[in-house]
Amino acid sequence: MSDVIRSEFGAVSGAVPLRGRARWRDGLLAAATWGAAAAVTWFLPDVIKWGATGLFALAVAIGAAIFLALSFAVPRLGEGAKTLVHYGPWFIAIGVWFTAWELLTAKLGWLPKPFFSPPQGLLHVYVTDWERLLVCVAYTARLWGLGFFSGIVVGFAAGVALGWSKRFAYWGMPILKLIGPVPASAWIPCTFFIFPSTFHASIFLVALASGIPVAILTAAGVEQVNRSYYDVARTLGASNRYLIFKVAIPASLPNVFVGLFMGLYYSFAVLVVAEMLGAKFGLGWYLQFNTAYSAYANVYAALIVMALICAGLVRLQFILRDRLLGWQKGIL
């Protein structure tokens, strides 16, 4: 690596020279904090015995070794190490969090069982109950997928109609404004009467939570399209169908994606409530079942799974948005 690239790396990431070479300072600090967490977990006695203590100590020690190796390898990777360098402070913070979490729960007992679990308690859940968790994830994915995608399809179509047709907006917008502020869970009594099963009622609740923000923001996006675009297209002989699909919808896509992001978060918030209506499996059912037995380590483990799934879906939406709206770069 050239001296120029090496000096730039040092200026950006805080790397320092070591006998003519550079090292990643945040990587060294991350290795130290993760090593401290491994030492605390392995050498200090537990107030209450937890499963997977040795496994967690080994996993964290391996993480510390990886960061130690990366602290010398990253400066040589150049542009390919930007992501690692960017998240360096986060790796340090995670190591500090592991150490404090371990001390406050398993070692000192200041956060007592069963209300709080050390990290090895969550790892023990993943090791021993992974089959049931996978089944619950599959059931949740089916329910969420049916509810979310049906909700955004209906919400998108309704939003386009509301933004395009003044007659449709005259009747539809007041209804949407009346229903929109009401939490989806407030419609549970109606869903029990209308739908033949709790599964269909749960799909409706998720669809309602995800569809309303998509409808509102799509309507706003279509309504805000510059009218000169329509005038130019009509001058060239465009029909109403062309104006809707080739002008209005593409121009309103930034608003649509904002609605999709909001709908995703709202759908996950309602998902737990929807699965408590009588589902046999699912992450919401898993949370309720283990809460009833005070198995809070299982509850926290399921919450982390839900958070990771939601974060992954948000990331996918960002990728989809960047690809579909790439033509708007430099315009917006």
- End position of a domain, from candidates 112, 138, 170: 112
Residue 21 — very low, low, confident or very high, per pLDDT cuts 50/70/90? low
Q: Do 246 and 164 belong together in one domain?
A: yes
**So what's the pLDDT on residue 322?**
85
Give the closest residue to 210 by CA, choosing from 187, 180, 169, 168: 180
Q: Do 136 and 77 belong together in one domain?
A: no
Q: Do 107 and 124 belong together in one domain?
A: no
Give the closest residue to 253 by CA, choosing from 218, 211, 227: 218
**So what's the pLDDT on residue 329?**
62
Q: Are β-strands 16-18 and 21-23 bridged in parallel, bridged antiparallel, or unpaired? A: antiparallel
Please report whether residue 1 resides in a domain. Answer: no
| Contact (CB, 8 A) for 266 and 272 | no
**So what's the pLDDT on residue 64?**
96
Distance CA(125)–CA(304), nearest Å, equals 12
Residue 168 — very low, low, confident or very high, per pLDDT cuts 50/70/90? confident
**So what's the pLDDT on residue 47?**
87
Q: Do 67 and 181 belong together in one domain?
A: no
**So what's the pLDDT on residue 302?**
92
Residue 123 — very low, low, confident or very high, per pLDDT cuts 50/70/90? very high
* Main-chain phi, psi angles of 21, to 5 degrees: -115, 175
Please report whether residue 332 resides in a domain. Answer: no
Q: Do 85 and 203 belong together in one domain?
A: no
| Weakest-pLDDT range from 27-31, 187-191, 254-258 | 187-191
Please report whether residue 12 resides in a domain. Answer: no
Q: Do 252 and 308 belong together in one domain?
A: yes
Please report whether residue 46 resides in a domain. Answer: yes
Structural domain of 37? 17-112
Total structural domains within the chain: 2
Q: pTM higher than 0.85, yes or no?
A: no
| Weakest-pLDDT range from 40-44, 124-128, 182-186, 244-248 | 182-186
* Main-chain phi, psi angles of 22, to 5 degrees: -115, 150
Distance CA(192)–CA(66), nearest Å, equals 53
Distance CA(74)–CA(88), nearest Å, equals 11
Residue 328 — very low, low, confident or very high, per pLDDT cuts 50/70/90? low
pLDDT digits (tens, 9 = 90+) for 141-160: 999 999 999 999 999 999 99
| Weakest-pLDDT range from 13-27, 35-49, 238-252, 285-299 | 13-27
Please report whether residue 2 resides in a domain. Answer: no
- End position of a domain, from candidates 78, 95, 112: 112
Q: Do 87 and 129 belong together in one domain?
A: no
Compute the mean pLDDT over every residue in the chain, rounded to the nearest whole number. 85
* Residues of the chain above pLDDT 70, percent: 91
* CA distances in angstroms from 289 to 117, 119, 203, 294, 315, listed in the order given: 17, 21, 21, 9, 30
* Residues of the chain above pLDDT 90, percent: 44
Q: Do 297 and 202 belong together in one domain?
A: yes
Q: Do 130 and 100 belong together in one domain?
A: no
* Main-chain phi, psi angles of 239, to 5 degrees: -90, 170
Residue 4 reports pLDDT greater than 70: no
CA 20 to chain centre: 42
**So what's the pLDDT on residue 112?**
84
Mean pLDDT of 307-312: 92
Please report whether residue 198 resides in a domain. Answer: yes
pLDDT digits (tens, 9 = 90+) for 59-111: 999 999 999 999 888 877 777 688 888 899 999 999 999 999 999 999 998 98
- End position of a domain, from candidates 112, 130, 152: 112
**So what's the pLDDT on residue 6?**
45
**So what's the pLDDT on residue 304?**
94
286 is written with which tokens?
A: 């898993």
Give the closest residue to 188 by CA, choosing from 203, 201, 175: 201
**So what's the pLDDT on residue 18?**
41
Please report whether residue 91 resides in a domain. Answer: yes
Please report whether residue 140 resides in a domain. Answer: yes
**So what's the pLDDT on residue 17?**
47
Q: Do 276 and 127 belong together in one domain?
A: yes
Distance CA(276)–CA(262), nearest Å, equals 22
